[in-house]
Amino acid sequence: MLVSADKKWEYALGMIKVDGLEPSPEFKKLIEKEKRGEMTTVDMRKVLDKKYKIKE
């Protein structure tokens, strides 16, 4: 049984919200781009790594 990208993201965001957190608007925009096929999850990770990586 295959699960749609919408359902996968719905589940993932639900898990975040269970912890009392809310995804940032920027993250939500990345999710929408991934759902539309404008970027891959690998692309998303690169964007997030670049933003949050600690500089040594």
DSSP string, 10-40: HHHHHHHHHTT----HHHHHHHHHHHTTSS-
Give me the pLDDT at residue 38, please: 95
Q: What would the pLDDT profile of 1-52 be if each residue is shown by its tens digit?
A: 667 878 899 999 999 999 999 999 999 999 999 989 999 999 999 999 998 8
Determine the pLDDT at residue 1.
60
The model's pTM: 0.77
- Residues with Cβ within 8 Å of 33's Cβ and at least 6 positions away in sequence, in order, are 39, 44
